[in-house]
Structure 1
Amino acid sequence: MDAGDLLDAGGRLNACGYATREVRTYRRDAIKAWPLRTKEWDYYCVLTDRYGLALTVADNDYLGFLGATWLDFEKRSYVSEEALLPFPLGGMDLPESADAGDVEQEHPKLSIAYRHVEGGREISVIAPNFANGQGLKGKLVLAQPPMDRMVIATPFPNAPRSFYYNQKVNCLRAKGAVTIGAHTFAFEPDSAFGVLDWGRGAWTYDNTWYWASASGIADGRLFGFNVGYGFGDTSAATENMLFVNGVAHKLADVTFHMPEGAPDSGPWRFSSSDSRFELAFKPIVDRAANTDIGLIKSDQHQVFGRFTGRVVLDDGSVLAIENLIGFAERVHNRW
C-alpha cells in the first residue's frame, strides 16, 4: 500500500492492503457511509509479567467510551472503570493520524490523556473511585524509536463505503508508575512493554474478530507480534506480522484454535498457513464483557496469558518464544 488519501470522493477505499508505516491519510469528513457507522478508537495495553494497564478512548458516533483496566496476573484478576458518553458524533476529536495529535478526555469517573512527547508517547489516567474508592492514578512514557508497525486498510464485502483503517504499534518500552490506593506499581523499560491499537473506520453492523498480540524479549531481542482475522475482506492482505528489533516480518494466514468451553477454560493453539507461527497460549484471566441493549450487542473475551512456541523469520531462522505475556481475544459485536 503506497501513500495518498485513504478514501476517494465517494468515500471508498483508494487502496487495500498493508504497510509498515502510516502511508494513507485518513479524514473523518471523507466518510460517506450510513450515519452512526463511524468507529474511532485508541487503545493502549502495557504489560509486565506481574501486572498491566489497559486504556481505551473510543468515539463510536452514537456512543463514546472511556475505559481503564488494571490486571493482576498473580491474583488472576482485573478491575475496570468505565464511562459512557452518549452521541459524541465525532466530538471527542480523536486525531486523524496515529503520529500527530493528542487525546484528552475528562469525565467525573475517568480522565485519560494520550500525548506525543519527544521519543515516544505519554499516557496518563486518573480514576478517583477505582476499585471501590481506592482510586487509580498513573503516567507512563512509551518509547517509540524508528520502527516498523502493522498498518492495514480493509474493505467489507457488499458495503463499498465501509472500511477499517488500523495501525498496531508493538514493542513500546514503558517507564513510569501506576498507583492504586496506597500501592504503587513500577513499570521499567526492560520488563514493561506496550502496544497501541489505533482504529478508524466505518463498520458494518454485525462482525466477529479475533486478535492476539504480545511484546517483550525473546532470545535477547526485542520481539512482538500482531495476528488476527475474522472481519472484512482480507484477500489483499492480512494483519499478521512479527517484529524483531523494530523490523517487521510478514506472515500468511493465522488460525486461532480455542478451547471448546469458556475462552479461559483451557490452552489455545495458534497455527499459520506458512508454518511460521506455531504457538501455544496458556490463559491467566479473561477480561469478559457482555452487553445486550436492543440493537446494540457485544460479547467480548480478551484473555491474558502466556505464549510459548516458535516463529520463523523472513530469513528462515527460528526464534523460540517462552512464556511471553500477552493476550488473545474473540469479540462479537452488533453495533
Structure 2
Amino acid sequence: MSEWNVNDYEITEPVRLVDARGRLDPASIGWTRHQLHDTDGVGRGWYGWGRNKRWEYWGIVTPTHIFALTIGALDYANVRQVWVLDRANLTTIDAFEISPLSRGVSLTGTHGAGVNTSRGRTIELRFEDSDAGTRLIARTPRVQVDLMAETRAGHEAMGLASPHSRLLVDYTVKDVDRPTRGTITIDGVVHDATGFAVLDHARSRGPYRTDWNWGAAVGEVNGKRIGINLGGGGADGLRNGISHTGVTIEGRVHKIPTVLDWEFDPSNWMMPWRMTTERMDLTFTPFYDRYARTNLLIIRSTTHQCFGTFTGRVQTDEGEWLTIDGLEGWAEDVHNRW
C-alpha cells in the first residue's frame, strides 16, 4: 500500500473522490484544510453497493452535559441516535432507532452542501449548514436540542481521503473546536448548551470489518484556542501508515504526518490511556466509559467511548511545543461489522 501513502500531500484544488464510473479517482487521495472533495458519487448507483458508509456524528461537550447526535446510513440500513450524559450524576439517556435501506434519511452528497436529516418513529434529527455554522436540531420524547455549532472566519477542518483499494476508500472530515450556543431540554428542563462541538463526517466505501481508535479534545492553551483530533489507530491505520491526526490552533490545521500509537488497557477502560507519535505525547484520564454493543445479524458493533481529560504536549508545524493540561474530550475503541 506504499503507493497510497499521502501523509504529506495536501490537496489545494477541487477534486472528485470517485470518477463518473464510480471508481476511486487517484487524484483525490490526500488531505485538505477546506472542503475540496466532491463525494456525490458515493452511495449512487450499483458500483460498490453494500460497502457505502455515510454518516454525520456530532459530539457536544458543555459544563453540565455531554451529548451525541448521529445520522448514519449504510446501503441496507440507516440509524439515528441521541445520547446524553448528565455530568453531575453520570446518568444517561439513549434513544436509538434503525430503519431498512434509506427510509427516513436524507444526507448531502458532499460536506457542507445543505441539510442532513433523519426521521423515525420517535427520533428526529436535522443538521443545517450555513455560513455561520451548523444548526443542530434533535427531538426525542425526552430530549430536545437546538443549538448552533459556529464557524469563525478562517476556520479550517481536516479532510482526508485514504484508500483500502481501487474500490474501497475512506473519506472523512474531522472538524474540531466548533463553539456552541443554544439549549438542550431534558424532561422539560432547559439547560444552556454553551460549549464545543466536534464533527465526524464520512462519505466512504469501507470493508465489512472496520476497527478504529479516535479521540478529540478542545480547550485553551497559552491564550490560544486549540482542538486536537486523534486518529490513525486500529488495524487499517497502522497497515496503511496514513495519519489521521492533527491539531487546530486558532482555527488553522497543523497536520501530524506520522501514525499515532495508542496504549490502553482493554481489561480496565478507566485506566489512563497514552497516545504518542513524533509530534505528540498525550495521557488521557477517563471519568466515564460509554459502552455500547449492537448485534443485529449483519450489523454488529462494540464501542468503548471514554470521556475525560488530556495532559501532555503537542508540536506545531513551526516546531513550537504546546503544553496540554486538562483539555476535555474523549477517546474511543470501536469494532464494527457492517
Match 2:144 to one of 137, 144, 147:
137
Q: Does 1:328 align with 2:331?
A: yes
- Listed as ranges, the matches of 1:74-223 within 5 Å are 74-88=88-102, 92-128=105-141, 135-145=142-152, 146-156=154-164, 159-188=165-194, 192-223=195-226
Moved more, 2-11 or 23-32: 23-32
Asked if the contact 2:300–2:337 (Cα under 8 Å) also holds between the matched residues in 1, the reply is yes
Q: Distance in 2 between matches of 1:105 and 1:34?
A: 23
Among candidates 267, 272, 294, match of residue 267 of structure 1? 272
Deviation string, structure 1 residues 96-149 (Cα, Å, up to 9, x no partner):
122121022222311111112341110011111xxxxxx111201111123111
1:20 maps to: 33
Q: How does 1:41-52 map to 2 (within 5 A)?
A: 41-52=55-66
Unpaired segments ≥5 residues, structure 2: 1-10
Q: How much does 1:213 deviate?
A: 0.7
CA RMSD of aligned residues (A): 1.9
| Letter of the 1:26 counterpart | T
State which of 81, 84, 87 in structure 2 corresponds to 1:70: 84
Task: Letter of the 1:12 partner, please give it.
Answer: L
Change (3 A) 1:107 1:167: same
- Distance between the aligned counterparts of 1:228 and 1:108, measured in 2? 34
Give TM-score, length-normalised by structure 2: 0.89
Mean Cα deviation higher: 229-238 or 77-86: 229-238
**Does residue 1:250 correspond to 2:262, yes or no?**
no
Give, in angstroms, the shift of residue 176 of structure 1.
0.5
Instruction: Please tell me whether the aligned partners of residues 45 and 53 of structure 1 are also in contact (alpha carbons under 8 angstroms).
Output: yes
| Distance change in 2, residues 1:296/1:138 (3 Å) | closer
1:303 to partner: Cα distance: 1.1
The corresponding residue for 1:238 is 243
Report the Cα distance in structure 2 between the residues aligned to 1:321 and 1:297, rounded to whole angstroms.
36
Deviations 1:234-272 (A, max 9, x none): 7474211000000111112211111241323x1111111
Instruction: Tell me the SS of whatever aligns to 2:102.
Output: coil
Whether the aligned pair in 2 keeps the contact of 1:111 and 1:126 (CA below 8 Å) is yes
- 2:63 maps to 1:38: no
* TM-score normalised according to structure 1 size: 0.90
Distance 1:48 1:219, change over 3 A: farther
Contact 1:31–1:202 under 8 Å retained in 2:
no
1:16·1:236 contact (CA, 8 Å) conserved in 2?
Answer: no
Distance 1:160 1:203 in 2: 11
Cα shift at 1:73: 2.6
Instruction: Name the amino acid aligned to 1:13.
Output: D
Percentage of identical aligned residues: 27
Secondary structure at the aligned position of 1:253 is classed as coil
Structure 1: 5+ residue runs without aligned partners? Answer: 129-134
Q: 1:31 to 1:267 in 2, by over 3 A?
A: farther
